């Protein structure tokens, strides 16, 4: 596992928490920030996955 995979998955988790918290308390801005952060984390994790796949070949 590389640092992009770890950081990306951490961002995804943080974004999910923000998204759910925003939804529960009715804060659309927080919910939106969470969705964006979750998507950014997914991109970073996918990039890290790709790097690992290329290393294995």
How does pLDDT run across 1-57, given as a tens digit for each residue? 999 999 999 999 999 999 999 999 999 999 999 999 999 999 999 999 999 999 987
Residue 56's pLDDT is what? 85
Return d(Cα 45, Cα 39) in angstroms, integer: 10
Residue 57's pLDDT is what? 74
Residue 48's pLDDT is what? 97
CA distances from 17 to 2, 51, 53 (A): 23, 27, 29
Number of H helices, E strands in the chain: 2, 0
């Amino acid at each position: 596992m590389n640092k992009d995979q770890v950081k990306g998955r951490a961002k995804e988790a943080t974004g999910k928490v923000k998204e759910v918290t925003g939804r529960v308390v009715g804060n659309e801005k927080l919910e939106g920030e969470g969705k964006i952060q979750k998507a950014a984390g997914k991109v970073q994790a996918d990039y890290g996955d790709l790097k690992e796949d290329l290393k294995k070949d």
